[in-house]
Amino acid sequence: MWWHPSPPGRGRSPPLDYLVYGTGIFVIEVWIFATLALVFLAAMGVRLPRFSQAAPEPSRLELLSPVEFPQTALRVPLLLGGFGLLVGWAMTLAFKARGLPVAPAALVQLHSHTFFFILGYLMTLLAMRTVGVREEVFTLTYRLGLVGLPLLVVSWVVFNVFRLHSLVHVVPSLLYFAILFLGLGGLWGRFGLRAGADESFHYVRGALIFTWILLIGLAAVGPVIALGWDTRPDVTVTYKQPEGQPYPGPYPEKYIGTAPVARSPRGLENLHLSPGSWSHVAVAWLLTLMLFADPVGRGLGGFGPIFLAATTIPLAPWFNAVGRLAAWADLPAGIGALWFAGHPLKFFNTFLLGAVALVLIRRWRTTGGPADAYV
Q: Is residue 291 part of a domain?
A: yes
pLDDT digits (tens, 9 = 90+) for 250-309: 999 888 999 999 999 999 999 999 999 999 999 999 999 999 888 888 888 889 999 999
Residue 371 lies in a domain: yes
Contact yes or no for 85/115 (Cβ under 8 A): no
Is residue 337 in some structural domain? Answer: yes
Can you state the angle between helices 343-367 and 315-329, rounded to 10 degrees? Answer: 170
Give the mean pLDDT of the chain: 88
pLDDT for 13 beyond 70: no
Asked, for residue 307, whether it belongs to a domain, the answer is yes
* Percent residues over pLDDT 70 in the chain: 87
**Is the bond preceding residue 275 a cis peptide, omega within 30 degrees?**
no
pLDDT band at 35 (very low <50, low <70, confident <90, very high): confident
Please determine, for residue 210, whether its predicted confidence score (pLDDT) is greater than 50: yes
Structurally, the chain folds into a number of domains equal to 1
Residue 359 in domain: yes
Cβ(89)–Cβ(107) under 8 Å? no
Question: Which residues does 321 contact at the CB level (< 8 Å), separation at least 6?
Answer: 214, 218, 271, 275
- pLDDT mean over 177-199: 93
233 in a domain, yes or no?
Answer: yes
Q: Give the pTM.
A: 0.89
State which residues form the domain around 280.
Answer: 216-375
- Kindly state whether residue 46 falls inside one of the protein's structural domains: no
Report pLDDT for 373. Answer: 44
Query: Residue 308 falls within a domain, yes or no?
Result: yes
